[in-house]
Structure 1
């Protein structure tokens, strides 16, 4: 099985923490839409597996019209094998939501919505420079739940000036709507973002890491009590509502990335990514050419990705490590894991090496300790 991701690189306003490729100048939007569909056709032979996930992200793809989604989904069906239960997701900004828009995009073929709520506090939304306010966010959840059975809500923790009480209030608000899926992310400071410069200039003080960790712990406790399954570090779902797109990514399945800066993976060793420049992307695609960078992962890089993905999900299976990488990798991994087994950050579940709940927040650092460093 495989997936297709469409990256629409336009927003009406820049969130100060975002380092994704986007532009707030919409003048080339129509050309980009046409180019994405042309790129899809140019690359129709790259995926032989049936498509079980189509995902529209960005940027702000909810700026696009229902007719664009209808035509694009039709193009996918015309050029690829698509499963009967394909998940077709759209990232939606709360300020773009209306009953009419949701109804029309559902008719166009969208069957899952991902709402970028991020916070239920206006002061926090202002800190992040989000376009919408709390009232719009609440309204968007209510409207979406009436029209879509399958939807997700995004929330951010670790926001400057937040605390454990404000985070608990955020979670209580979210849980009261009982969304079938929740994605949560710690606010990170990425180079070249507005937030990065605000921190560098002393305009914004980052939250103490211990508070951020405690917020993540509260998140896990509250969502488990509310019957959510933590199937990946950042993702929680009610039974039957795991995101196919997320699950495919974290299990290493192939995907095709369409649009400026979009990444692709063949499910084995080959990665490619489109140029992160709208004009150069347009010039290439309109001439019938791709403007990409490519890499082929080495054995140790494939191993490191497996370690990272597995720790965030179901654990590192030693039978798979032995099968795909050989006994020497098992020996190396066992040696590297010793100190984390001693302090109970890692534990054995049969032949599967798993991370303890208390150490989940540290999963990236623990994974890096297990990496094989070989240039």
Structure 2
């Protein structure tokens, strides 16, 4: 799969550190560099057919439909597309106007991931989002009117400026809109963000773990009751609508990341990442140099990563794969910690797969870390 990172945003969200820019000249330079990088790295993925192309980052919907097709055509020069390829565009609700959607419907993009975050205006103000709850709802309906039905919504739970009833209403609206995929994450407080500053100065209260856990479990039950499959801790889908792109990450499949700060992985032991600085990225590619750093993963790193990603999913970790891939030292540690986890009930095994029981998913990071080798 290929991930194209677009390093532009229309606003700086209060809960992240993402850089933003709307400079047209810089955008043109970035697009030129993206095309250059795609060509230089055409031999890195040894795939018969590309199954996922994902435009993410910042705000890819800041691009015009013509620019999106230009990048897609550049990828198609060097890679064969699977007949059933998933081509996803991340979008902000405020970008999904009729003209943009009309143009986008004529491209090969067949899936939208919309950064709704919430249908509650106070939540959106806290996150410094431009759109309102009503505008978020309208943007989804417009996208459906223009033929986009494979839609994923992002929702944030655990906001300190809303309550349980607001969260219930968010979920009811998402279900009523008949979208087939929902990704939902707890609101987190990152250092050096506006939200962190507001909490320190007591302008807003800090998110509460117990409230977030309550909302997480309600979400899981409610969405399953409405036909969704809880296939990964933060992801729910109707049958046939799992995100192929994200599933490839969780299954440790190879991927190629194009663009500033994008990451790549060869599916075995090598990870690389591009520089985040736009100017350095452009300069390197103008000189036919890769703007990236590389890390060779140790056996312990590879083991920890398989445990971390696999235990986030409903399918879990394939124990046979572990036994085929790692040394006796690694496996001895795994067996020891596995026994502890099974005895305490925080882990279970089914058909030679190790998984975390769904009632413990909210605590999955801590449970998985107990199996890590440090």
Same fold (TM over 0.5): yes
Tell me whether 1:277 sits opposite 2:277 in the alignment: yes
**8 Å contact from structure 2 (residues 269, 296) kept in 1:** yes
Task: Name the residue aligned to 1:354.
Answer: 355
SS of the equivalent of 2:370 reads helix
Instruction: Measure how far apart 1:284 and its partner are.
Output: 1.1
SS of the equivalent of 1:370 reads coil
Structure 2 Cα separation of the partners of residues 342 and 206 of structure 1 = 35
Structure 1 Cα separation of the partners of residues 199 and 50 of structure 2 = 42
Judge which range, 19-28 or 211-220, deviates more: 19-28
Q: After TM superposition, list the pairs within 5 Å mapping 1:272-311 onto structure 2.
A: 272-311=272-311
Task: Name the residue aligned to 2:209.
Answer: 209
Structure 2 Cα separation of the partners of residues 101 and 112 of structure 1 = 15
Q: Which consecutive unaligned segments of at least 5 residues does structure 1 have?
A: none
Structure 1 Cα separation of the partners of residues 167 and 86 of structure 2 = 31
Task: Name the residue aligned to 2:178.
Answer: 178
Q: After TM superposition, list the pairs within 5 Å mapping 1:1-375 onto structure 2.
A: 3-23=1-21, 27-49=25-47, 50-146=49-145, 147-313=147-313, 314-373=315-374
Instruction: Measure how far apart 1:209 and its partner are.
Output: 0.3
Aligned-residue Cα RMSD (Å) equals 1.5
Aligned CA distance change for structure 1 residues 211 and 119 (closer, same or farther; 3 Å): same
4+ residue runs of structure 1 moved beyond 4 angstroms? 24-27
Number of residue pairs matched by the alignment: 371
Instruction: Measure how far apart 1:47 and its partner are.
Output: 1.2
**8 Å contact from structure 1 (residues 69, 109) kept in 2:** no
Q: Which deviations, in whole Å up to 9, do the C-alpha atoms of 1:5-27 show, x marking residues without a partner?
A: 11111112111112345445555
Instruction: Measure how far apart 1:212 and its partner are.
Output: 0.4
Judge which range, 71-80 or 100-109, deviates more: 100-109
Structure 2 Cα separation of the partners of residues 356 and 108 of structure 1 = 41
Aligned CA distance change for structure 1 residues 25 and 192 (closer, same or farther; 3 Å): farther
SS of the equivalent of 1:108 reads coil
Structure 2 Cα separation of the partners of residues 256 and 350 of structure 1 = 32
Instruction: Measure how far apart 1:256 and its partner are.
Output: 0.9
SS of the equivalent of 2:106 reads helix
Instruction: Measure how far apart 1:365 and its partner are.
Output: 0.8
Q: Which deviations, in whole Å up to 9, do the C-alpha atoms of 1:217-276 show, x marking residues without a partner?
A: 011000100111111111111111111111111111111111111111111111111101
Instruction: Measure how far apart 1:326 and its partner are.
Output: 3.6
SS of the equivalent of 1:236 reads strand
TM-score w.r.t. the length of structure 2 is 0.95
Q: Which deviations, in whole Å up to 9, do the C-alpha atoms of 1:319-374 show, x marking residues without a partner?
A: 1111111444333223213443233221222322211121100111111111011x
